[in-house]
Amino acid sequence: MEVSIVLKSDPFSWKAIQAFKIACALSLKTKTFFIALKEGVYFLTDWDPVALGYENFKGYEYNQENLVFLVEEDDFKIRNLSEDKIWAKDLKVEFTDEERIAEILEKSQVVGVW
């Protein structure tokens, strides 16, 4: 079974953190893709959730073999973001195009969109 969680907006919100929490929990049992599109790519930047009044999501438990962080490459580049500024250093982070993301979404049995 494959699951995709898509974050396309509100990257600095409780919704984004909950989406990531769900992805981490699902990865303990199944292959999970956390997909960042559009404004969602800012979720990868090295921001401080605690300073905004949220819990620190960077320490959530997950299965490294099952959790893949997919980032729409053009959305990332258009915003002048840099790979060396992302916090997800120990996660599998793949920069890819929208065609590959579409393929993954099509074959996923469950898709959640935030």
Environment class of 61 (CB within 10 Å of its CB; exposed 0-12, middle 13-18, buried 19+):
exposed
Q: What is the pLDDT of residue 54?
A: 95
Q: CA-CA distance, 57 to 11, in Å (whole number)?
A: 12
Q: What pTM does this model have? A: 0.93
Q: Are strands 67-72 and 31-36 parallel, antiparallel or unpaired?
A: parallel
Domain of residue 101, residue span: 2-113
Q: What is the pLDDT of residue 84?
A: 82
Number of domains observed in the structure of the chain: 1
- Compute the CA torsion angle 36, 41, 47, 50 (nearest 10 deg): -40
pLDDT tens per residue, the chain (114 residues)?
Answer: 999 999 999 999 999 999 999 999 999 999 999 999 999 999 999 899 999 999 999 889 999 999 999 999 999 999 999 888 888 777 889 999 999 999 999 999 999 999
Q: What is the pLDDT of residue 90?
A: 77
Q: CA-CA distance, 104 to 29, in Å (whole number)?
A: 18
**CATH number of the domain where residue 49 is located:** 3.40.1260.10
Q: What is the pLDDT of residue 85?
A: 80
